[in-house]
Amino acid sequence: MDQETGRASGRRLAARKDAERPTLRQRVYVTLEEGQAEGGLSRAIELFLITLIVSNVIMIILETVPALNQRYDWFFSTFEQFTVYIFAVEYAIRVWASPEDPRIGTARPILGRLRFALRPMMIIDLASFAPSLLGAVTGGALDLRALRILRLLRLLKIARYSQAMPALLGVLYAERRALLGSFILLLCTVCVAAELMHVVEGPGQPKAFGTLPSSMYWAITTLSTVGYGDEVPITLLGKLVAGLTMVTGLVLFAMPIGIIATGFVNGLHRREFSITWSMVKRQPLFEDFGVETLTPIVELMGATVVQDHTRIAIAGQPADNFFLIISGRARAEDEAGAWDLEAGDVIGEEALGDAATYARTVIARSEMRLMVLPSEELRRLSRKFPLLERRIKNEVAW
């Protein structure tokens, strides 16, 4: 597609964006849910909430020191009230704006908000302020000292603003079969080691190894730690079994640790910022796509941040990735000339073809946030969803 066609396509997209003015609820939802990807106010609110969460946990720790609690009780109380108010308002606003979430937007408002409120992160949000709020409402009539521990759940709120927790959960799910296999091997080793020690040491130490359950406890502690407390083998054969058990434990625990660590690091590199449903739904490329279509696309999309002057694509190089601009600006250049790219534009539609190369060089002109899809995944999705291929070629391509 030539340069003039690309510019015409850009003008059509700009006109469509201007015609679709977001409502107040849409702006609020995007501001709260997309954070740093939106920049400006969204980033400021996100940083404020992160600071408030960390500060609150520090206050919870410090107020357990009697001297500090007695001297600064008024400050701790005031800060707690301020925190509860902010978290309660945040929770209420998120619930109010939740119908803008593409996954619940088709449901009735009340039902959709209820489904949104039952999500794990929303339950954590509620638990972070509900005990303190309930205590204030009842005027201390209820003994909520045990529930005050729930205030530490506020630290879990920070998972909303970090890719660490989603990356870890994603690894546990993706590698569930390998982890299950490691667990089965560990269980088999526990049973074998326990049986051997029961046979070898049981007659001489009936209290420690006289039963299989007690021997299994020894096997678990030996496999997972170096040393086994007061339960010590006294025979030469028993010591040999203990040594082999400890060495085997190192191997067995190294497997799941390696699986999780490798997947965790890869997951963090794959997504450098959160990809939200509203972020994807608002892109012209995915306009009118249903939840069923978007789900596999969102799961496969990576997210990366590039700095100013970074070469995103180089003409003549293999088109290994397809990029969708979320924020920032870039400059595209080819033999016909040069033009600017911005949020909503795509880079590397050549990735639709097998063994294709980039037709133009694209250089970042500011910090950019990009969704990334490997070429093989793009081709697979385009075969499954022909509308995606048509949209890339006809509506958003240069």
pLDDT of residue 184: 94
**pLDDT value for 386:** 83
Closest CA to 343 of 313, 310, 366, 316: 366
Q: Which CATH class is domain 174-270?
A: mainly alpha
Helix runs in the chain, H state only:
3-19, 24-34, 40-62, 66-71, 73-97, 109-117, 120-138, 164-174, 176-201, 206-209, 212-224, 236-270, 277-281, 291-300, 375-384, 386-391
Of all residues in the chain, the percent with pLDDT exceeding 70 is: 84
Distance of CA 29 to the CA centre of its chain: 18
CATH of 277-396, one of 2.30.30.140, 3.40.50.2300, 2.40.30.260, 2.60.120.10: 2.60.120.10
What's the pLDDT band for 192 if we cut at 50, 70, 90?
A: very high
Confidence of residue 398 (pLDDT cuts 50, 70, 90): very low
Instruction: State the CB neighbour count (10 A cutoff) for residue 258.
Output: 12
- Domain range summary for the chain, segments of one domain joined by +: 23-161, 174-270, 277-396
Query: Would you place residue 143 in the very low, low, confident or very high pLDDT band (cuts 50, 70, 90)?
Result: low
In the 8-state DSSP scheme, what is residue 21?
P
pLDDT band with cut points at 50, 70 and 90 for residue 269: low
What's the angle, vertex CA 225, arms to CA 221 and CA 230, rounded to 5?
55
Q: Using one digit for the tens of pLDDT, what is the confidence trace for 300-343? A: 888 888 888 889 998 888 888 999 988 889 999 888 888 899 88
Does residue 187 register a pLDDT over 90?
Answer: yes
Q: How far apart are CA 203 and CA 181, in angstroms?
A: 34
| Of the options 1.20.120.350, 1.10.10.10, 2.40.30.170, 1.10.3720.10, the CATH number for the domain spanning 23-161 | 1.20.120.350
pLDDT of residue 227: 57
The pLDDT-based confidence of 8 (bands split at 50, 70, 90) is very low
Mean pLDDT of 119-142: 77
Taking the C-alpha atoms of residue 52 and residue 128, their distance in angstroms, rounded to an integer, is 12
Q: List b or e across 136-146, with b for residues whose CB sees 16 or more CB atoms inside 10 angstroms.
A: eeeeeeeebee
d(CA 395, CA 234) in angstroms, rounded, equals 78
Name the amino acid, one letter, at 12.
R
